[in-house]
């Protein structure tokens, strides 16, 4: 019985040590996963903060876009009013036909074609004729405009305002470009935050799994330790019982020897020192 208990205790000791080693390994794994999860959560938080800051910048720039769009549209409206007034003056003074600005643009375009393209003789002659005709119209239009101070002043003012509107449009375009840049960076930050959040969720699930496995191994370790303590109590009882049994046997034999010696003494036999000690141990003397 004692050997069986000792064998069982040895097996439980092995189980206990194995469970403790597994528990420690799993706890270390869980700790590493928790650290990874926490790092990813921090990265996610930083990315979201960055995205929010970019959103604020984008919205501020979009306000500038709206502001300069209104300025451009209002300025263009003023210029259009003046151009409409100029058209009215042209009609009143029989100054119809293309504007001097349109004529100049057509002349420049045809001259550029003449200078850059290889043309046949007939085509070049035709082109030269068109340029000459447009130049004639241009000079006539110029003389007409210079002769009409009111029209000239209105067109000059309209063009000045149109140029101002063009500057507002350039500002608008630049702010729109910046707003788009901040928007794209914001979207990328949010996407990266979603990615790190997903990685964090995976790390957390793995952490929970490792922690639960570690808890299970710890429970096995505690259960084995408890069984070992219970077995130690049983072994102690058995050993004590065995010891008490041996003590009783020895005491019984000692009493038999003492009684034999005492009977000899009563019969007149001489006792040795060893005989006296035996009698003392037996309690007879």
Q: Is the pLDDT of residue 250 over 80?
A: no
CA dist., res. 79 & res. 54, Å (int): 37
For residue 7, tell me if it sits in a domain.
no
Q: Which of 138, 78, 80 is nearest to 106 (CA)?
A: 138
Render 99-118 in DSSP notation, one character per residue: -HHHHHHHHHHHHHHHHHS-
What share of the chain in percent tops pLDDT 90? Answer: 45
For residue 33, tell me if it sits in a domain.
no
Question: In this predicted structure, what is the pLDDT of residue 25?
Answer: 95
For residue 284, tell me if it sits in a domain.
no
CA dist., res. 155 & res. 79, Å (int): 9
CA dist., res. 33 & res. 249, Å (int): 64
Please give the tally of structural domains in the chain: 1
Q: Is the pLDDT of residue 284 over 60?
A: no
Lowest mean pLDDT among 74-88, 113-127, 257-271: 257-271
CA dist., res. 241 & res. 211, Å (int): 45
Most confident of 9-23, 143-157, 195-209, 230-244: 195-209
Contacts of 23 (CB under 8 A, 6+ apart): 214, 217, 218, 221
Question: In this predicted structure, what is the pLDDT of residue 210?
Answer: 96
DSSP-assigned letter for residue 97: S
What share of the chain in percent tops pLDDT 70? Answer: 76
Q: Which of 256, 254, 276 is nearest to 265 (CA)?
A: 276
For residue 261, tell me if it sits in a domain.
no
Higher-confidence residue of 254 and 149: namely: 149
Question: In this predicted structure, what is the pLDDT of residue 113?
Answer: 85
CA dist., res. 19 & res. 230, Å (int): 19
Residue 100 pLDDT grade (very low, low, confident, very high; cuts 50, 70, 90)? low
Q: 283 φ, ψ to 5°?
A: 90, 10
For residue 30, tell me if it sits in a domain.
no
Higher-confidence residue of 50 and 9: namely: 50
Long-range contacts of 143-150 (CB under 8 A, 24+ apart): 144/95, 145/95, 145/100, 148/89, 148/93, 148/95, 150/89
Q: In this predicted model, what pLDDT tens digit does every residue of 66-81 receive, in sequence order? A: 999 999 999 989 988 9
Average pLDDT over residues 267-284: 61
For residue 14, tell me if it sits in a domain.
no
CA dist., res. 23 & res. 17, Å (int): 10
For residue 237, tell me if it sits in a domain.
no
Q: Is the pLDDT of residue 116 over 90?
A: no
Higher-confidence residue of 221 and 252: namely: 221
Residue 101's domain spans which residues? 42-203
For residue 117, tell me if it sits in a domain.
yes
Question: In this predicted structure, what is the pLDDT of residue 82?
Answer: 87
Q: Is the pLDDT of residue 247 over 60?
A: no
CA dist., res. 40 & res. 19, Å (int): 31
């Amino acid at each position: 019985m004692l050997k069986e208990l000792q064998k069982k205790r040895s097996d439980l000791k092995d189980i206990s040590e194995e469970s403790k080693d597994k528990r420690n390994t799993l706890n270390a794994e869980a700790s590493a996963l928790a650290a990874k999860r926490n790092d990813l959560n921090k990265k996610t938080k930083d990315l979201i903060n960055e995205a929010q800051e970019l959103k604020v910048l984008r919205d501020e720039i979009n306000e500038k876009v709206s502001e300069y769009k209104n300025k451009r549209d209002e300025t263009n409206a003023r210029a259009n009013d003046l151009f409409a007034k100029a058209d009215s003056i042209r009609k009143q003074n029989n100054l119809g036909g293309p504007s001097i600005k349109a004529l100049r643009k057509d002349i420049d375009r045809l001259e550029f074609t003449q200078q850059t393209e290889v043309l046949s003789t007939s085509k070049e002659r035709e082109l030269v004729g068109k340029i000459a005709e447009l130049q004639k119209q241009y000079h006539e239009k110029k003389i007409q405009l210079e002769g009409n101070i009111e029209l000239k002043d209105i067109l000059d003012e309209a063009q000045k305002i149109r140029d101002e509107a063009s500057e507002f449009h350039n500002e608008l375009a630049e702010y729109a470009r910046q707003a788009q840049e901040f928007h794209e960076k914001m979207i990328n930050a949010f996407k990266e935050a979603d990615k790190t959040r997903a990685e964090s969720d995976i790390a957390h699930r793995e952490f929970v799994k490792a922690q639960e496995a570690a808890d299970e191994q710890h429970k096995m370790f505690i259960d084995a330790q408890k069984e070992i303590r219970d077995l130690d109590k049983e072994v102690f009882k058995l050993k004590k019982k065995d010891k008490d049994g041996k003590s009783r046997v020895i005491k019984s034999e000692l009493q038999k020897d003492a009684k034999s010696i005492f009977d000899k003494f009563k019969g007149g036999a001489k006792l040795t020192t060893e005989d006296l000690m035996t009698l003392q141990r037996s309690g007879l003397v």
